[in-house]
Amino acid sequence: MNLMSRVTRLGCALAFCCLALVLWGVPGTRALNNGLAMTPTMGWLHWERFMCNVNCQEEPDSCISEKLFLQMADLMVSDGWKDAGYQYLCIDDCWMAPQRDSKGRLQADSNRFPNGIRHLADFVHSKGLKLGIYADAGNKTCAGYPGSYGYYDIDAKTFADWGVDLLKFDGCYCDSVKHLADGYKQMSLALNRTGRSIVYSCEWPLYAWPFVKPNYTEIRQYCNHWRNSADIYDSWQSVRSILDWTSSNQESVVPAAGPGGWNDPDMLVIGNFGLSQDQQVTQMALWAIMAAPLFMSNDLRHISPEAKGLLQNKDVIAINQDPLGKQGYRLRKNDNFEVWERPLSNLAWAVAVVNLQDIGGPRYYTIPIASLGKGLACNPACLITQLLPVKTKLGFYEWTKSLKTQINPTGTVLLRLESASKIASKSSL
């Protein structure tokens, strides 16, 4: 084989690799090809706030029932949540009847969901929303209701027949890691076979980690998003532990994220009881940086204007939904501060500075501009806007300068950096 053909062949091979990298994203693995979750999914999920409350006798307004979801659906539209991007209204565990029906199909608890799930789906769709539901790869759900082991095709078909748009698939009561993996793969394929577009939200890596290091290349091919770490609770300690887990494992998880497949750090607990205003700002800012699915779990009937304003903040949601689809990461940690950054489209960057100290007052932190965005974010200069806790135009910063900012204890300052060259090219148009 002469050199020329070797050179041209090499040239072609290189061109093909570049194309592959562009087409299939940095991880080089194709996502679940159902065309869904091109940006992180947004919606409302009942678990953290309402858990498995099935006592409708004594608590008719907060038990897991058709009534709860009809009320949330109304508010998602009337109070601007849908317009802000929160489109999926999701049922978690504890919706089922204790037994399958005579044909082996899952069925909703007839007292709490007297008209069934199809009826609820029709109502939700009439509001321009989408309906999510929950099941489990094992013999039982985590709360002990019928599991889908051995029923993957029946359950997928049932969900499609009901008009379900998202399935949260849990991993309790699996006999082995193999059972776990097979269950997640089989349900993914079963959903595809229904021909209905159903977002597939997995917990596969969460259950695998104690036994094997999850293969995110494989998980990404079967799931649209996946939980890695423990359940979130309505507390600062819980939010911190999820941030620590993510930053400690960012080498493995960050490359796996991209259009069609996302790491899921669990629900937003903003609007509940456990987080201070500053800690709520930290969760919203970091969930945006982490390109996390945004599933609120709160009571939309009773939510403070501050929490609503934060959850509907268009600038922060724009970072979460950025079309470049890159997950951010922790850049540095020092003196009880953490700096996280996320590359955005149009050479822009998002930067979050977190003051982890939960003693004393607000503290100052100075960021050398050249250290951001791999030295590219502000080269030669950039326009910096503070988005949280309050929106403030901070102005143009040259590459050689530093930015000094003040952050409340357990609070976060979220910044957006627009490259000066991009701004100049836009204004010369």
**Cβ at position 118, least distance to ligand GAL in Å:** 22
Query: Which residues on neighbouring strands pair with residue 416, listed in sequence order?
Result: 350, 385
At its nearest, how many Å lie between ligand GAL and the CB of residue 295?
Answer: 10
Is 170 one of the catalytic residues? yes
Cβ(204)–Cβ(219) below 8 Å: yes
Nearest distance from C-beta of residue 102 to ligand GAL, angstroms: 26
End-to-end, the C-alpha distance of the chain in Å comes to: 51
Q: Residue 17, SS3? A: helix
Binding to ligand GAL (CB under 6 A) within 22-81 occurs at 47
Binding characters for ligand GAL, 368-387, by CB under 6 A (x = yes): --------------------
Active site residue 93: no
Residue 109 makes contact with ligand GAL by CB under 6 A: no
Answer yes or no whether residue 170 interacts with ligand GAL by CB under 6 A: yes
**In 10 A of CB 386, how many CB atoms?**
18
CB neighbourhood size of 236 (10 A): 20
Question: For residues 138 and 373, which CB has a smaller minimum distance to ligand GAL in the complex?
Answer: 138
Question: Is position 322 an interface residue for ligand GAL (rule: CB under 6 A)?
Answer: no
Minimum CB separation from ligand GAL for residue 171, in Å? 7
92 is a contact residue toward ligand GAL (CB under 6 A): yes
Q: What whole-number distance in Å separates Cα of residue 75 and Cα of residue 97?
A: 27
Q: Which is nearer to ligand GAL, 272 or 405 (CB)?
A: 272
* Cα separation, 28 vs 23, whole angstroms: 8
d(CA 415, CA 328): 13
Taking the complex as a whole, how short is the minimal distance between the CB of residue 231 and ligand GAL, in angstroms?
5
CA–CA gap between residue 147 and residue 163 (Å, rounded)? 20
Residue from 129, 135, 143, 202 that binds ligand GAL (CB under 6 A)? 143
Cβ atoms 137, 174 nearer than 8 A: yes
Q: Answer yes or no whether residue 234 interacts with ligand GAL by CB under 6 A.
A: no
| Distance separating alpha carbons of residues 27 and 18, to the nearest angstrom | 13
If one asks whether residue 142 binds ligand GAL (CB under 6 A), the answer comes out as: yes
Binding of ligand GAL by 316 (CB under 6 A): no
**H or E segment to which residue 130 belongs:** strand 130-136
User: Applying CB under 6 A, which residues contact ligand GAL?
Assistant: 47, 92-93, 142-143, 170, 172, 203, 231
Q: Which residues are catalytic?
A: 170, 231
